[in-house]
Structure 1
Amino acid sequence: MRITLVAGARPNFIKIAPIIAEINRVKALGSDINYRLVHTGQHYDDAMSGQFFRDLEIPLPDVNLNCGGGSQAEQTAQILIAFEKELIENPADLVLVVGDVTSTMACSITAKKLNTKVAHVEAGIRSGDMKMPEEINRIVTDSISDYFFTTSQLAGKNLLQIGKSQQQIFFVGNVMIDTLLKFKSKFKAPQVYNQHKLTHREYLVLTLHRPSNVDEADALRRQLDFICEQAYNFPIVFPIHPRTQQQLDLTFLPKNLIITSPLGYLEFNYLIQNSLGVLTDSGGITEETSIMNIPCITLRENTERPETIEFGTNVLVGKDSEKLKYYMQKMLSNQWKQSQGIELWDGKTSERIIKVITNTFIS
């Protein structure tokens, strides 16, 4: 059996790493399964992708399509063209896509146009917000995929509502947590931790990258000023996304805001694990904080991961400054809810995925 694995951006690498490890494990035991790793190049600089390959022990991709840069439409078009050529030259029995980035959608379209089966890992999640590019990517990918690996029971219900059959849907858990649990013992302090003499539970972590939060420079600056003010003297470490950095004047920033470059997986999660709490607009980080039992405030109006609110450590505040102030006070005073554990987020998701694939295609 030949599988083409697609990765294009940082969240993809975290999800693809344990799947590669499991394929290698079952292949060593005699299973007739081979993979080809395609990097679309959506995140194309070393800070945004190369370090993740090293941290997560992912082998070098068989090919890099070099489809970085440009608008959403330009990038989609580049990937469609390049991946079509790749798949014609290297046919597969199954194309496996993960997550909800542009690469996920574009490669699933290309595969289906070439009559190749598509499996979507992290299928069925929905925010209900059509202003999010990721929501469009999810809807398109799920509309044409053949097999769906879900992180929650709710995701499966979402797929049933759009006409998918129960036989196509496999509730397997969250593959990101496989990676988190596997590499937890290897987390390491980033330079910024020692440079600023940070100490356990005595600082906050902030990430912002979504257009609704960072594309308007004045609004971004007001939000940063407000967050820093509410944190009092607590340092706030802000690994800055390239998109965010383009909008932010780095002069005259609040004294307790520590700007740093994007961090590798092991360094970033060390920072999270030892923090008092996290403020973010990233969905993936809310999953990791829930498993690490770290308080998390999501600076969005909605989430495609409601289980992190119901069972995890996440809360939504949107753009409500009073709500943000309230939850920051709870965070700073150690009055936060405890994670209750989330079903099948146990480090064994990749095993369940490959078992389904081998049973479907090989047995």
Structure 2
Amino acid sequence: MKVLSVVGARPQLVKLAPVSDDMSNTDHTHVLVHTGQHYDAEMSDVFFSGLGIPDPDVHLGVGSGSHGAQTGSMLTALEPIIDSQRPDWVLVYGDTNSTIAATLAAVKLHVPVAHLEAGLRSFNRRMPEEHNRVLTDHAADLLLAPTETAMKHLATEGLAERSVLVGDVMVDVCLKVRDAVRASGEAPHDLPTGIDPSEPYLVATLHRPDNTDDRDRLAALVEALAALPVPVALLAHPRLVNRAAAHGIELQQGAIQVGRPLPYGGLIAATVHSRGVVTDSGGLQKEAFLLGRPCTTIRPETEWVETLEGGWNVLAPDPHLMGDTWAGVATRPAPQTDIGAPYGVGKAAQTTIDVLASRCS
């Protein structure tokens, strides 16, 4: 079996890592294409080295741009690669522009597409990710769902016959890295200056357009983070840095200590040692859940609804309305409820490979 994986952004590299690792232990051929959607070394290169992913066979170097321009450039570049490789499966991950571009290129060439992390829904059509994931699911030939909730969404949309529950590949890598962090006994490295890992602190990330594009909203969110009663390690995504500079907003203020995005192992270590997480990231809110850390999600909804059960994740989208309560939500203690295993037990990558092999035509 030949599988051609297409990735382009930081979250996809995390999902790719366990698939790549398990594929290396088989006789299957795995071709890796990196679109270059995330072209910053801190958002891409360190994930290859840190997670043991082989260098991509093809790097398109697409870079940034508007959604249309970026997706169009990827589509143009991917078509001849897929046509020449003619894999048994084009495997796409998540919900980025790389995901939809690879899906469109493959289906037009009549090459089967499998979508890993299918069936997630925020039901927020303002999110570009929501368009990408819905369109990908309806175009793909095989839908590899991470949860029972995702399976229900796919069935509601008439896609049950193409859907298989495989679990969440991010659990595979998160638990592996967590165990290594705990075994080392070391404090996290590369935290922002001013964060003492032996004292309580929060990990924060912020990057979504709905939170960063409007100056007043971003200013209010920064002000709310700055007013929290414990230090905040703000791991600043390039988008946040750029938008804050354009808006004339100083990120380093009050409780906030600004640092760079961390390699995956560093992020897991920082989260394990933290008191909790404040984020608008899809991946980090789930990782906080898996690591037993309370999370405050700065969004009105979440695709990972299972994290809301037991109070592990709380939606707190508007600092204007929540006032002092926002600080209370952000710094609450960890719940005592058992998280269970709604995302699987760390075998999703191998299950994915087995399903792909069993369905080769």
- 1:310-362 superposed Cα distances (whole Å, 9 cap, x missing partner): 26721112215454743532553526454522334211111111111122228
* Stretch moving more, 304-313 or 69-78: 304-313
* Stretch moving more, 341-350 or 351-360: 341-350
Corresponding residue of 1:30: none
Corresponding residue of 1:211: 209
Contact 1:200-1:275 within 8 A present in 2 as well: no
Percent of aligned pairs with the same residue?
35
Counterparts of residues 166-245 of structure 1 (less than 5 Å): 166=161, 168-187=162-181, 189-192=188-191, 195-196=193-194, 198-200=196-198, 202-229=200-227, 231-232=228-229, 234-245=230-241
Matched, 1:148 2:143: yes
Partners in 2 of 1:61 and 1:302 — Cα distance? 34
1:21 CA drift (Å): 1.1
Corresponding residue of 2:184: none
3-state secondary structure, aligned to 1:26: coil
- 1:46-91 superposed Cα distances (whole Å, 9 cap, x missing partner): 1110001111100000000111111111000000000002112222
Corresponding residue of 2:314: 315
- 1:112-141 superposed Cα distances (whole Å, 9 cap, x missing partner): 000000000000110000000000000110
Partners in 1 of 2:307 and 2:329 — Cα distance? 18
Contact 1:297-1:327 within 8 A present in 2 as well: no
1:196 CA drift (Å): 2.8
* RMSD after superposition: 1.9
* Stretch moving more, 41-50 or 302-311: 302-311
1:169 CA drift (Å): 1.2
Match of 2:125 among 130, 143, 166: 130
Contact 1:201-1:276 within 8 A present in 2 as well: no
1:261 CA drift (Å): 1.4
Corresponding residue of 2:280: 281
Counterparts of residues 51-130 of structure 1 (less than 5 Å): 51-130=46-125
3-state secondary structure, aligned to 1:227: helix
The code of the aligned residue for 2:219 comes to R
The code of the aligned residue for 1:237 comes to A
Decide whether aligned partners of structure 1 residues 201 and 330 sit closer, same or farther in structure 2, where only a CA change above 3 A counts. Answer: farther
| Number of matched pairs | 353
Partners in 1 of 2:191 and 2:334 — Cα distance? 27
Contact 1:126-1:304 within 8 A present in 2 as well: yes
3-state secondary structure, aligned to 2:54: coil
3-state secondary structure, aligned to 1:254: coil
1:164 CA drift (Å): 1.5
Partners in 1 of 2:38 and 2:189 — Cα distance? 21
Corresponding residue of 1:304: 303
Contact 1:312-1:341 within 8 A present in 2 as well: no
Decide whether aligned partners of structure 1 residues 204 and 162 sit closer, same or farther in structure 2, where only a CA change above 3 A counts. Answer: same
Partners in 1 of 2:195 and 2:42 — Cα distance? 23
Matched, 1:268 2:267: yes
Matched, 1:38 2:38: no
1:264 CA drift (Å): 0.9
- 1:13-55 superposed Cα distances (whole Å, 9 cap, x missing partner): 000110111111132xxxxx21100001100121110001111
Decide whether aligned partners of structure 1 residues 246 and 197 sit closer, same or farther in structure 2, where only a CA change above 3 A counts. Answer: closer
Contact 2:82-2:106 within 8 A present in 1 as well: yes
Partners in 2 of 1:14 and 1:242 — Cα distance? 18
What is the TM-score normalised by the length of structure 2? 0.92
Contact 1:44-1:68 within 8 A present in 2 as well: yes
1:263 CA drift (Å): 1.3
Contact 1:312-1:339 within 8 A present in 2 as well: no
